[in-house]
Chains A and B, each alone.
Chain A
Amino acid sequence: MKAAKEIPQPGPARGGFDVRAIRKDFPILAQKVHGKPLVYLDNGATSQKPQVVIDSLSRYYAEENSNIHRGVHYLSEQATAAYEAARQKIKRFINAPKAEEIIFVRGTTEGINLVAQSYGRAFLKGGDEIIVSAMEHHSNIVPWQMLCEQTGARLRVIPINHDGELVMDEYRRLLTKKTKLVSVTHVSNALGTIVPVKEIVKLGHERGVPVLIDGAQATPHLKVDVQEIDCDFYAFSGHKLFGPTGIGILFGRSELLNRMPPYQGGGDMISLVTFEKTHYNVLPYKFEAGTPHIAGGIGLGTAIDYLEGLDWNQVISYEHELLRYATDALSRIEGLKIIGTAKEKSGVISFVFDHVHAHDVGTILDQEGVAVRAGHHCAMPVMQRFGVPATTRASFAFYNTIEEVDVLVRGIQRALKVFG
């Protein structure tokens, strides 16, 4: 995350990292589930929202609601200004060079599909190759498979080692003159691995190959600077970043975006329409057909204001400590095996038992108020790589506590007791 460069918006008090104070900003965390305090450890699936984000959604609908980029009236101007201000915040947040390079989409999935269908269909042909990694979410596999079917291109996969790290030598070997695009995740949702994306991009660029980074799991945990990473595209979701669902961002270099055909046709993405010829609008509007999720965009801007009010050096070291504590505590449970033991990891612990299935662990934890994910995490190739049908995944956010990790451990022990 970028350090705040502007006056911080409503957020927790500055100074020492006070997780108790931060938890008060997230109303849902005070809930009880099955009579027990909620322990929300499913942040990899979606994050909870601070009150300021919830308020900004209702304020938009109560006070500003109207369509953007078209009305000459007061409300439309208000809504347009708020929406475009959010774009500026997002630009600053990932340090994009230009606001026109920030395209509002529904989420990471749509961002990747946009690149596959627009860039991919325009510039790839039979025999070309696309490189992904063995730890991708389905959303960074299937759009490329669809593109391969459409164009005759071929998908190549960078393998991962037993710790869940990319085998960089294999990546170097896969990069050839046939390679036309590389698309890898920044942080693995199933394993927590932090991928050396700068190195991935550098190697791709040495061969003139553009690189897309799936940032869905990275933006909530790391300082992301697209200029430092030097990637050509970077996609992420609002809802994993403490913002609303249904809104996400695709950053793309304007040189590439300008050369790409539109993804969808409709209103807002045109400058002139006749039945003979239609002229497309300029960036970013060329890629934003139809009335967007205006409230979502504004809400995401508010989430970023909130995040910029935090001291991210503190957040990162706090999350690191939480992960270290949880890894130690879980490792001590007999029979528990952690899947994903990369040296560089973000706040995700995936684990399995030989004799107890992830679903059963998930159900028993739920009865203790602990929300985790059980299953294949939309990363079935990762499960196949490790020879497990499913894992239980605890994924953390900065509002989680050491005490919550203890509740998780006790819940796992209860599950083990049930299954003897």
Chain B
Amino acid sequence: MSELDELYQEVILDHNKSPRNFRTIENASRKADGYNPLCGDQVTVYLKLEDGVIKDISFQGSGCAISKASASLMTSELKGKTEAQAIELFDNVHKMLTGESNGQDRGKSVGKLAILSGVSKFPARVKCASLAWHTVNSALKGGEGIASTE
């Protein structure tokens, strides 16, 4: 598979075309905005937490196929996870996107999100894939303001 095919796999193209959980959540317990100042990609992540568990998660915004698919995959993956599990997954995904791990090693597994590992070959696109993750991370940590990839 060429690097380009690895980047734009069917699953990613599908999530770009029909993003999952692409909506707002009324009465969300947490909400955070993410913004990539380099390109203008923008995402808002909504969370509904109950007893430390992500009961519902959704996103809205505009961006490229990679950022949209990454956000869509992220929401599918995080639903039902505890806050601690979500933060651990954020760390593992981040390591995979920046090429520190392949996303499959013990203790660093990212499950289905390994589909995004092709991004690490495209340094200019790592921020696109990590935007939603930075945003959910700041929502989970309850930080104020806008998450940025910078």
Contacts and interface: CB of A to CB of B under 8 A. Distances in A.
A332 B41 CA distance: 28
Interface of A: 356-360, 363-364, 367, 374-376, 380, 383, 389-390, 418-420
The 4 closest A-B pairs by CB, nearest first: A359-B64, A357-B64, A375-B39, A376-B40
A373 to B, nearest CB: 10
A380 B8 CA distance: 27
30 contacts: A356-B65, A357-B63, A357-B64, A357-B65, A358-B39, A359-B41, A359-B63, A359-B64, A359-B67, A359-B125, A359-B128, A360-B65, A360-B66, A363-B4, A363-B124, A363-B125, A367-B4, A374-B39, A375-B38, A375-B40, A376-B39, A376-B40, A380-B40, A389-B40, A389-B62, A390-B40, A418-B8, A418-B13, A419-B13, A420-B17
B7 interface: yes
A389 B66 CA distance: 15
Nearest to A364: B4
B4 A358 contact: no
B25 to A, nearest CB: 23
B63 A389 contact: yes
Interface residues of B, number: 24
Nearest to B40: A376
A345 B117 CA distance: 42
Contacts of A380: 40
Contacts of A389: 40-42, 62-63
Contacts of B2: 367
Contacts of A357: 63-65, 68
Given A360-B64, A376-B40, 11 more contacts: A357-B64, A359-B64, A359-B65, A359-B66, A363-B7, A363-B122, A367-B3, A389-B40, A418-B4, A418-B8, A419-B13
A383 B62 CA distance: 13
Interface string B54-74: 000000001111111000000
Task: Among A359, A375, A390, A419, find the residue whose CB has the most chain B CB atoms closer than 10 A.
Answer: A359
Interface centre among A358, A363, A364, A389, by most B CB within 10 Å? A363
Contacts of B125: 359, 363
A359 B39 contact: yes
A390 B38 CA distance: 10
Interface string B106-150: 000000000000000010110010000000000000000000000
B118 to A, nearest CB: 11
- Name, among A360, A375, A389, the residue most crowded by chain B CB atoms within 10 Å (CB to CB): A360
A114 B125 CA distance: 35
Nearest to B127: A359
B41 A419 contact: no
B128 A420 contact: no
A359 B66 CA distance: 9
Contacts of A363: 4, 7, 122, 124-125
Nearest to B4: A367
A363 B122 CA distance: 8
A375 B41 CA distance: 9
Nearest to B42: A389
B30 to A, nearest CB: 25
Interface centre among A356, A374, A390, A420 (most CB of B within 10 A): A390
B65 A419 contact: yes
A183 B38 CA distance: 25
A54 to B, nearest CB: 26
A414 to B, nearest CB: 9
Contacts of A376: 39-40
